Structure 1
Amino acid sequence: MSENTERLRIIGWSINAKWNNGKVEDILEIDDTTAQTVDDFLSDYENEVNVELNSKYKE
């Protein structure tokens, strides 16, 4: 990334459920085990995105 470009960081997340009746619900209260699994996944995803952006800016 260029020197003035900050590393992207995910600062929040929720589970978005779409019901078969058309209702959309954000589920914000999640047990610790599930939350940790999602946090770990998003940390890895965040790193992948930043690596891709970094390689694009170097071109």
Structure 2
Amino acid sequence: MPNENKEMDLLWEVEEIAKVIGRTPRQTFHMLKTGQLPAKKVGGRWVAERGKLISFFLETAA
């Protein structure tokens, strides 16, 4: 049985999300705020799951 915690690699804050998607923090913040990325705001901080972000871009590109 795989370790579910390893599968859920969370990215906290706009800067970390920006690094993964190859955008500036400003571009990323705009995408987050307008709902263009699969992420949520938790306690005033943006959080996204790395796997969902990657899948989102792979599906968009296809």
Q: TM-score normalised to the size of structure 1?
A: 0.30
| More helix per residue | 2
Q: TM-score normalised to the size of structure 2?
A: 0.29
